[in-house]
Amino acid sequence: ERLRPAAGAGRALRAPADSRTAGERLVAKLPERVVKGGQVCEVRAAIAEKLGIATPSSAGGGSASRSVSAPPRQAAAREVSLLRAGRGSEEPVARLQVKLEGGQKVLLNMEFHATVGELWEALATWRAKNSIARASPECTLRTAFPPKAYTDRKS
């Protein structure tokens, strides 16, 4: 009898009424995006889409669904391969992402020994193919880390 609660003392506490469905509550707990293998992956929007739930970003009420630094969704159209035909798969590859002055991002797969001049040529070809104006002569290639500028277009 000592362990039996007094009358009215054993009721469950209830949280304030939540008008969201269980699926909406689940999606709200998920991170918007995660980094996996160096790529930013959408989590919340993808799960919400699978569950048929509108998220604030898909309904137009939230911020953009992709961060500024995330690779574009149509990466295949923005990828350039400068790898020679018949190369061995075990040979090293240089993979670069170049952000143009207009905000476009181009992913380049290059031979490990490729030159800066070859990079400039590939970017010029990509710009022409995608109807983007040529880079002005004062444009430079810069690395984020360590910070370095490459001004010579022929090396």
Considering only CA atoms, which of 119, 76, 113 is closest in space to residue 96?
Answer: 119
Choice among 9-18, 19-28, 37-46, 124-133 with the minimum mean pLDDT: 9-18
Res. 13 pLDDT band, cuts 50 70 90:
low
| Residue 72 or 30, more confident | 30
- Does pLDDT of 32 surpass 60? yes
